[in-house]
Amino acid sequence: MRYFLVLCILFVCAKIGAQEYVNSVKVQGNKRLKASFVKKISTVKAGGVLDSLQLNQDTEFLKRLPSVSHAYYQVFKTETGNYNVVFNIEESFTLIPSPSIYTTNNGEFAFRIGLTEFNLFGQNIGLGAFYQHDIYDSYAINFRAPFLFSNKFGLAVNLQDLTTLEPVFFNNSSADYRYNNESVEVLGLYKINFKNRFEFGATYFSEDYSYVSGVTSSSVPQNLEVNKWLAKLIYEYNNLSYHYQYVSGFRSLFNFQYVTATNSELPNFFITWNDFFYFKRVGKKGNWANRMRVGLSQNDNTPFAPFSVDNNINIRGVGNTIDRGTGAIVFNTEYRHTLIDKKNVALQSNVFLDSGTWRNPGGTLSDFTNSNNLKIYSGLGLRFIHKKIFNAIFRIDYGLGLTENASQGLVFGIGQYF
C-alpha cells in the first residue's frame, strides 16, 4: 500500500511538472476594441495552464462579438519553456445606421431610422435608438452591456414608446386598433460558461388599444388601457461556430414571460417559446440553415392573441400580421450559396421553405393539424453582405404560397432572416 501511494504521488508530480503554462496574453489587430476587455472575457490567463480547448473556445466567443468580424490565436514558446498567447483580431465597424422603408397594410408609406453603437468605449457595450413613423410616431432607446460588472455579469435597459395600427381578429372578421405600448425594461445578463447564458428581469409597461375602423362586437372593447408588469427569463445554449458569413453548429433559445396586470379584472398571463437553430457548412460555398419555433401562451379566447403570422417574423410572403394565435409551430429552412466572395464583401443566393401552424385563441392542440391553420411558402432570395461591418446584410426574399388561397410577395430586411 505504501509503495502504491508513493507511485501515485510521483505520477501527480510528474503530471504537474509536464504541464505547460501561459507566460503572457497579448492582443493585436484591434483598434477600437480594448485589449484589456479581450483579456477580461478570456478564460486563458497569464500564469495559467496552456489549454487548447480554452483557446479554441475563447476564439469562437470573440467571433460572436459584434465588434469582431474574425479572430484567431497564435502560440509562441519562450526561452523558459512557457508560452506567449496572441489573439489576432479583425474588427467590425460597429456604428450602424438602421434605415428601413416599407408600406403598411393599407398602402401608406412608413419608415424607421435608427443608429446603434455596438462597441461603446471599446468594451462591447451597445447603445442605440430609433424613430419610427408607421402612421403613428414611435421611439426607443436601448442599452446593453453584457460584461459591465465582470466577465460574467452585465446589464440591459430598454425604453420604448411604440405606436402602431394593429389588426385584431374575431368572429371570422377583423378590425384595426391604434395600439400604444410604453415600457421600461431592466435585465440582468449572466454568462455561465462558453455555451450557456441567462437573462432575467422585469418590464413595467402600459398598453392602450383604441378602435379605429372595421367590425365591432359587444364582447370586444373599443378602448382598453391597462398597466402591467412582465417578468422575463431567457436561457440560451449556443454552440455555433462562425467564419465570416458561414455558420455551423446548434443553438437553442428559450424565452418565458409572465404578465400580471394592475387591474384585478384582467387575468394573469404567460407566454413561452423555444427557438432551435441548426446550421451546417455544405462544401466551400454552401450553408444549410434551419430554425424551428415552438410556442404556447395562455389559451384565452381573445382577439389580442400574442403569436402572429407575419412576413417579417416567420413566413416570408404571407403579408403583415394576417392572423394571430395562442400557440405556434414554425419551421424555416434555407440553403445559402455564396456567389461572390471578396475580402470585404460577399453576395449570397438562397432558396427557402417556410412553414407554420397556429392554435386558434381558445382552441385546442388539434388546431395545429387543421389544414386551415397551415401556411407553407417557398421562394428565392439574395443577401448583399459587407464582411467588415457588423450585421451589414441587406436581404431581399420573394415568397410564394403553396397552400390554398395563399398570397405572395417581397420581403426586405437587415441581417439574415434567422
Residue 289 sits in a domain whose CATH number is 2.40.160.50
Q: How confident is the model at residue 16 (pLDDT cuts 50, 70, 90)?
A: very low
Strongest mean pLDDT among 166-170, 211-215, 252-256: 252-256
Residue 153 reports pLDDT greater than 80: yes
- Across the range 286-299, mean pLDDT stands at 97
- Return the SS3 of 361: coil
Same domain? 126 vs 250: yes
Residue 143 reports pLDDT greater than 70: yes
Where among 63, 91, 119 does a domain terminate?
Answer: 91
Rounded Cα distance between 229 and 297, Å, is: 16
Name the phi and psi angles at 371, rounded to 5. -60, -25
Residue 302: what pLDDT? 81
Residue 323: what pLDDT? 82
Mean pLDDT value across the chain: 91
Rounded Cα distance between 76 and 48, Å, is: 15
Residue 18: what pLDDT? 55
Q: How confident is the model at residue 9 (pLDDT cuts 50, 70, 90)?
A: low
Vertex 124: Cα angle to 239 and 192 (nearest 5): 40
Kindly state whether residue 24 falls inside one of the protein's structural domains.
Answer: yes
Same domain? 217 vs 72: no
Same domain? 239 vs 379: yes
349 against 221, higher pLDDT = 349
CATH number of the CATH domain containing 86: 3.10.20.310
- Return the SS3 of 44: coil
Find, among 390, 392, 372, 394, the residue nearest to 382 by Cα. 394
Enclosing domain of residue 310: 95-142+170-176+212-222+230-414
Kindly state whether residue 186 falls inside one of the protein's structural domains.
Answer: no
pTM value is 0.85
Kindly state whether residue 68 falls inside one of the protein's structural domains.
Answer: yes
Rounded Cα distance between 199 and 187, Å, is: 6
Residue 11 reports pLDDT greater than 50: no
Same domain? 319 vs 385: yes
Q: What percent of the chain has pLDDT over 90?
A: 73
Kindly state whether residue 154 falls inside one of the protein's structural domains.
Answer: no
Please give the tally of structural domains in the chain: 2
The predicted-structure confidence for 243-277, as pLDDT tens digits, reads as follows 999 999 999 999 999 999 887 767 888 999 999 99
Residue 14 reports pLDDT greater than 50: no
Residue 98 reports pLDDT greater than 90: no
Same domain? 137 vs 19: no
